[in-house]
Amino acid sequence: MAFGVLGAVATIAQMALLSKVVDRVFLDGESLGQVGTLLLLLLGAIVLRSGLLWLREISAQRGAIYVKSELRKQLFTHLMHLGPGYTKGERTGELVTTAVEGIERLDAYVGRYLPQMVLSALIPLLVAAYVLPFDWISAALLLVSAPAIPVLMVLVGSHAEKRMKRQWSSLSRMSAHFLDVLQGLSTIKAFGRGAAEREKVAKVSEDFRERTLEVLRYAFLSGFVLEFVATLSIALVAVALGVRLLIGSIAFAPAFLVLLLAPEFFRPLRELGVHRHTGMEGKAAAERIFEILDTPAPVSSGPAEVTSLGGRLEIELGDVEYTYPESGQPALSGINLTLPAGSCTALVGRSGAGKSTLVNLLMRFVDSEHGRISANGIPIADFPVEIWRENLALVPQRPYLFYGTVLENIRLARPEATREEVERAAELAGATEFIGRLPQGYDTGIGERGVRLSGGEAQRLAIARAFLKDAPMLIMDESTSSLDPESERLIGDALEVLMRDRTVLVIAHRLNTIYRADQIAVLDGGCLVETGTHAELIQSGGPYARLVDTYNRTPA
């Protein structure tokens, strides 16, 4: 910004010299030799002014670039803290647009608009202060007309700002729509919705165009008003000068200088108008960015002292209750359950009973507000989240596979693992055979979200991750549903090995997984209705027994 002001000083000097040269040649008839020094000084001012301009450009951008990359990092880190509970309710395309395009837009706000605000106040004052001593009339004319510009700009701008927000949300909507559609192309095609979708895409892009033009119309209008006032007042100053020259109340040199300086007086204000538009775009994006950053994370990190739990893990849930923020009734309540170290607990219940919620609590994707969950007697909330999760291996129902090779995908569970360890894990998960069939084996790219794998193959990679992670506690959410009985039996033995000496929680629908558990916990409507072994529960004739009964009566 200092460069901006210095640049303005150099400009004033340049204009003063120019007017002097023209004056001497024009009125005094001086020759090239006589104005030579002045011309040299003029050259000096010109070079200085250009140099300062360069410095100003660079310094403005540097600051903005730093701000952007810091903010992007913070935003993404915070999204990770917010976790799956938050992102499932948002639109990925919108979040991505905010994190990439939104942050880029801050450029204009931070790098251009904010500094320009200051400059547009300082430089006109500087110019006016310079003109005032020798031509107070023009100075007054300029100073009177100048405030009209910001006032008009704000008047027009306040309408534009509302529309700017609409434009931003329209852009977000468009991106979210495109991403959703791109990821769902197979479904769209399978149902022959191609033509209908094209229309929808056209509608969404048209909406964005209209919103953009709406904003631009205001921006141009405000630009027009600004130009109009500026040119009008320059013209006014020029005409007034002409008249005063005629009646001889001002000399040529100062009059010409004022004429040269008048556009410089308005230049920063005109630039403000230009940057204001892009700056407001940045502001609309910034609001969304800070809205995300201000969303409180669902879990807080505990004090960092507790680091390790040793090899075995006993989990105890006491009176645990959880209600999703936007939902009225608790998804889980009054849960009292112990998962003894080295034992296997099967969690049973119909869909919506709260099984996944319990997993989310154990994984600390969310924290319960009532009751306590402790591991070996220490509340899990006391651990830093990352440290806690090191103790758990999760095999989700729909594992997310990253674009990359088979090797990279398994290795994600333990990045420092050697290739041999990865191969061993794959073997235990029964994945060796299909990996062997891939064109480049472990180094075959599996495409986005594992598109080139069959459902069962993807599940086996997720199981291989769990083998590789080798954590004291294992949570499996329907992890063998896509496997045929043969493969299930094959890896069943390996899973048995994996489960040994570990605390295991399995969510299962199939009896064959359930009956082997040391303990079966039956959930219904968020409450724990029964716990016990298969034999005990069958004997007691409760909900579990009834469930088994229906299973057995179902023809296989």
Ligand X SMILES: Nc1ncnc2c1ncn2[C@@H]1O[C@H](COP(=O)(O)OP(=O)(O)O)[C@@H](O)[C@H]1O
Nearest Cα to 430, choosing from 392, 486, 346?
Answer: 486
Rounded to a whole number of angstroms, the minimum distance from the CB of residue 72 to another protein is 5
CB of 331 to ligand X, least distance (A): 3
Residue count, binding to ligand X (CB under 6 A) = 21
Could you tell me which of 328, 320, 318, 322 has the C-alpha nearest to residue 357?
A: 322
Question: Which CB, 224 or 319, lies closer to another protein?
Answer: 224
Give 235: exposed, middle or buried? Use CB within 10 Å, 0-12, 13-18, 19+. Answer: exposed
Provide the 10 A C-beta neighbour count for residue 377: 7
Q: In what order do the strands lie in the sheet with 519-524?
A: 392-395, 473-477, 503-507, 344-348, 519-524, 527-532
Q: Which is nearer to ligand X, 294 or 326 (CB)?
A: 326
Positions 453 through 472 that interact with Mg ion (CB under 5 A): 454-455
Smallest distance, another protein to C-beta of residue 369, A: 20
For β-strands 527-532 and 519-524, DSSP reports them as antiparallel
Residue among 282 and 354 whose Cβ is closer to ligand X: 354
**Can residue 456 be called a binding residue for ligand X (CB under 6 A)?**
yes
Q: Does 19 bind ligand X (CB under 6 A)?
A: no
Query: In 3D, which of 162, 159, 167 has the Cα closest to residue 97?
Result: 167
Q: Which residues pair with 485 in a beta bridge?
A: none
Q: What is the token pair recorded at 276?
A: 């204001």
Chosen from ligand X, another protein, Mg ion, none, partner binding at 373 (C-beta under 5 to 8 Å by type): none
Minimum gap (Å) between residue 195 Cβ and ligand X: 25
Cα 81 off chain centre by: 12
- By a kind-dependent CB cut-off of 5 to 8 A, residue 541 interacts, out of ligand X, another protein, Mg ion, none, with none
Q: CA 53 to CA 47: how far, in whole Å?
A: 10
Radius of gyration of the chain (CA): 36
175 binds, among ligand X, another protein, Mg ion, none (CB under 5 to 8 A by kind): another protein
Task: Yes or no: say if 520 and 514 are a contact pair by the CB < 8 Å rule.
Answer: yes
Q: Which stretch binds ligand X (CB under 6 A): 117-125, 205-213, 294-302, 320-328?
A: 320-328
Comparing CA positions, the residue from 348, 345, 342, 381 lying closest to residue 362 is 381
Confirm or reject binding of residue 397 to ligand X (CB under 6 A). no
Binding test (CB under 6 A) with ligand X, winner from 40, 213, 243, 451: 451
Nearer to another protein, 101 or 314 (CB): 101
Nearer to Mg ion, 87 or 454 (CB): 454
Which H/E stretch holds residue 366?
none
For the segment 327-366, give every residue that binds ligand X (CB under 6 A). 327, 331, 349, 351-357
**By CB under 6 A, is residue 186 in contact with ligand X?**
no
By C-beta, is 37 or 454 nearer to Mg ion?
454
Question: Would you say 49 or 460 has its CB closer to ligand X?
Answer: 460
Residues that bind ligand X (CB under 6 A): 85, 324, 326-327, 331, 349, 351-357, 434, 451-457
